Structure 1
Amino acid sequence: MKPLFLPANQPAGRFYAGGRQISDFRGTGPAASHEPEDWVGSATSVFGHEPVGLTVLPDGRLLRDAIDANPVDWLGAEHVAAFGSDPALLVKLLDAGQRLPVHAHPDVPFAAEHLGLAHGKTEAWVVLEPARVHLGFTRDVDVDELTGWVRAQDTDAMLGAMHVLDLDAGDAVLVPAGLPHAIGQGAFVVELQEPTDLSILLEWSGFEIDGAADGHLGLGFDVALAAVDRRGWTAEEIARLRGATAASSGDLLPEAAAFFRVERWTGARELDAGLAVLVVVAGDGVLVAGGESSPLRRGQTVLLPAIVGRVALEGAGLQVVVCRPPRP
């Protein structure tokens, strides 16, 4: 196995619009209007639409099937001992051509009880282009009030009860499962998450989806809304979710370690062995693995199987974001 340089993997027909940022970043052709996500090294499918979202390898196999057939080489023996053949990670590029709707994701206990899944959807954003986001409620919201907002599609009330953050390029933000949020128009982020596609829509008016039918994971809103964190978060608590800034290197979100790990490095560097998704966010350089060198440039995404071992990065202006599953 060698490092795999991955092309874009953009599920079509998503319910919100994308922009030009993924295509500009990757240097590919014109962007499709409703392909706002690039699922990188994905063994996860779009909820209810398998195999959409799954990465196809150059030999035509699904990455998921290749991992199942040879998990130790892909994931490493320690990872397999802890998690089996589950990569325990999904990485995306997300380009918000419009503000995303207010939504939330279930946590592990909710997903296990109601959906029979091992993962919820805690996520994190490494910001590549500045954006305004709404994140968490500023006050306690009781279930009847939340239900009323959802039923009436009272977007003004929802957004008015949420914290607003203006994020800068380079910021890293942890979004715990359950926390309601809405990424603003113009955002471009590297998104790490637990490997599911589970979203509970609180808002859908004006978006290309029938949220009343498809916004509750097939559970009905009486059940699904129990997954939403309705607690009022203080401004200080929300600020603590905003971990690293553009000046930060190394581990950007140590508090996310139970779900995933994300590092940022600039210039020459050796990377430890283990499954990783490498996103080249700036500059040019070289990747050296197994005695072979490959050029790197901004916009590339590289899947590093565990068996590749340690790899070296060369290039003074090279900047990468390295995404990894939780440590075994």
Structure 2
Amino acid sequence: MNPIVLSSNRPAERFYRGGAALSAFRGESGSAEREPEDWVASTTTIRGEESLGLSTLPDGRVLRDAIDADPTGWLGEAHTQRWGADARLLVKLLDAGQRLPVHAHPHDDFAASHLGRAHGKAEAWYILEGGPVHIGLREEVSHETLADLVSRQDVDALLGLLHEVQVQPGDVVWVPAGELHAIGAGVLLLELQQPEDLSILLEWDGFAIDGPGEGHLGLGFDLALTAVTTTARSAVDMGTLVHAAPPAGSVLPRPADEYFRLERLPLHGAAVIDPGFSIIVVVRGVAAVQGTALAAGATVLVPASAGRIEVSGDAELLIARPPAP
């Protein structure tokens, strides 16, 4: 199999605004008001949907079905021996046209025990356009206090619990499962995450979502909030959560390795990308991938059976992968 250049996969009518910056990055004309996400090479559906969110290949096949039919060809023998046809990765381009609500995602054990899901949702962001992000508690807080703030929808107090950090292009943000966070307006990012759509919403005023009905994943807030981390993050902790990416090589902190990997590859001539299932994003410049010239904003799906990938140009690439088997 050969690398596959992907078109956008943008679910419509998400609960928050955004999309213009994403269209500009992708080199596309126009966007709807609520199309802030591109689910790149997705084998994951939006929660509660049968197919929305899944990526379709240029030949008309749904990627999830193609992987199910040939998991070794797509994911590699070692990956398939350990995890079967589970790609173990969801990549998104996300454009926050407004600040996202304060929320968190459950960890693996909670998702398995209470939701019957194979994964929780740890995630990490590579910042493409900067702005504010809110992450990590400034002081320890009890679940009872969180529940009270949620019930009263005290947005100022909820947001005030979190560290606010101004991020720049090239910064990395690691968001462990359970960590409270909110992406600020104007931020454009590449997101790697576990392949689930599971969010515990502590805030919903002003968003197109039924927070009281959907914010607790059907579990009730008393139970859902027990998946939220309530310990404070020190300045040292914050340095592990938010930092500038190194100029080349692996960019995520070590705790992310069990969930996904991200490599930064500056191109000044020719290079080779190691074999393995991956998603390439051209961040800057023009890059030739196996001889096909691609401008910034292009996304490329690489099956494991494609082998070593030759790239060249004056550009910068991001290469997202599932965890090493």
Whether the 8 Å CA contact 1:275–1:304 is kept in 2: the answer is: yes
State whether residues 266 and 319 of structure 1, in contact with CA within 8 Å, keep that contact through their aligned partners in structure 2: yes
> 1:312 aligned to 310, 313, 317, which one?
310
Q: TM-score, with normalisation over the residues of structure 1?
A: 0.96
Matched, 1:224 2:224: yes
Sequence identity percentage:
52
From 295, 315, 320, the equivalent of 2:293 is 295
Q: Which runs of 5 or more structure 1 residues have no equivalent in the other structure?
A: none
Pairing of 1:1-328 with structure 2 (within 5 A): 1-245=1-245, 248-255=247-254, 256-267=256-267, 268-288=270-290, 293-315=291-313, 317-328=314-325
Structure 2 counterpart of 1:160, one-letter code: G
Alpha-carbon separation, structure 1, partners of 2:297 and 2:287:
12
Instruction: Report the Cα distance in structure 1 between the residues aligned to 2:107 and 2:243, rounded to whole angstroms.
Output: 21
Cα shift at 1:172: 1.0
Deviations 1:157-192 (CA, angstroms, capped at 9, x unpaired): 111111111101001111000000000000000000
Kindly state the Cα deviation for residue 59 of structure 1 after the two structures are TM-superposed. Answer: 2.1
Letter in 1 for 2:30: P
> Which one-letter code corresponds to 2:315 in the other structure?
L
Whole-angstrom CA distance in 1 between matches of 2:175 and 2:271: 28
Shift of 1:118: 1.7
Matched residue type, 2:45: S
Deviation at 1:319, TM superposition (A): 0.5
Cα offset, 1:235, TM superposition:
2.0
Superposition deviation, residue 115 in structure 1: 1.1
Q: Which moved more, 1:138-147 or 1:301-310?
A: 138-147
CA distance in 2, matches of 1:300, 1:144: 46
Equivalent position SS for 1:223: helix
TM-score where L is the length of structure 2? 0.97
CA contact (8 A) 2:240 2:253 kept: no
Tell me the matched-pair count.
322
Distance 1:232 1:78 in 2: 39
Distance 2:235 2:170 in 1: 21
Q: Secondary structure of the equivalent of 1:156? A: helix
Between the aligned partners of 2:243 and 2:308, the Cα distance in structure 1 is 27
Amino acid at match of 2:324: R
Q: Which amino acid aligns with 2:310?
A: A
Query: Is 1:243–1:252's contact at 8 Å kept on the other side of the alignment?
Result: no
Q: Report SS of the residue matched to 1:164.
A: strand
Q: Is the 8 A contact 2:174 2:253 kept in 1?
A: no
Alignment-mate amino acid for residue 150 of structure 1: V
Q: How far off is 1:54 after superposition?
A: 0.1
Task: Tell me the secondary structure at the aligned position of residue 239 of structure 2.
Answer: helix
Consecutive unaligned residues in structure 2, runs of 5 or more: none
Q: CA deviation at 1:242?
A: 1.9
